[in-house]
Structure 1
Amino acid sequence: MTGKTWVAVAGALWLWGCDDSTVAEVTDSQAAAVDAASENLCDIFDACGNIGEGKTYASRSDCETNRKAFWNGKWPVESCDNHIHGDNLQACLDAIETMDCNSLVDELRVINGACAQDKVCAGE
């Protein structure tokens, strides 16, 4: 990762933690989008009781590693870096936050609908 990318990611994540801004409003970085989607999805998996010993993910770290690999495949760097569409990324993040616990149908609807590559990576 280049120095410029690290600064963008760090800035985006810092602003993402503030109530007035979201990662979708401050970056078109694929890495920041992957981090945000992974965090949101792992938050849902955690709230649904899918993280812990003997569960879908052994730990939060295991969830984040798995989900980052997933989103990196869904939104490849070569297609998405500097092409993240902020409004569509925010719609994806919002859709993740409202997914029903343990509903594969709902998860597939969100991942292939609101979070589809042709939507999230549609920026200029």
Structure 2
Amino acid sequence: MEARGEGGIINMDWLTMFADYRVPQALVFLGALRYTDTLMQALNKGELLSSGDRREVEIRGCSIWSVELIKERLCKLVKERDGQTCNVNSAVIDFYLWPYAKKHHKEMAHIPIHHTRCIYY
């Protein structure tokens, strides 16, 4: 980007979480996201969701929105507790959730991940 003159400071606050497959699993495990029974059955069967399938897009979109709500709530709590502005962004929350999901994968084994073949993961 710098070669094109676009290499200035990047505002990390514009980033969302990275809508992969482990973060939604962690969000479900932690109770921040809930799948319908029908979706849970499809995921438990290992059904391959095609790229762009409504269910795949909803898992990603709802994961992004869940992290945004977590960020909003966290910043509100920091403001109430410390009277300060919260500096956390969605990428930081993602950087917490992904390793958390890997570390606790055995405890989360009952929550299926979604399977989608695409270039976006």
When normalised by structure 2's length, the TM-score is 0.31
The structure in which a higher percent of residues are helix is: 1
Rg (Cα) greater in structure: 2
Q: Which fold has the larger relative contact order, with Cα–Cα distance below 8 Å and residues 6 or more apart in sequence? A: 2
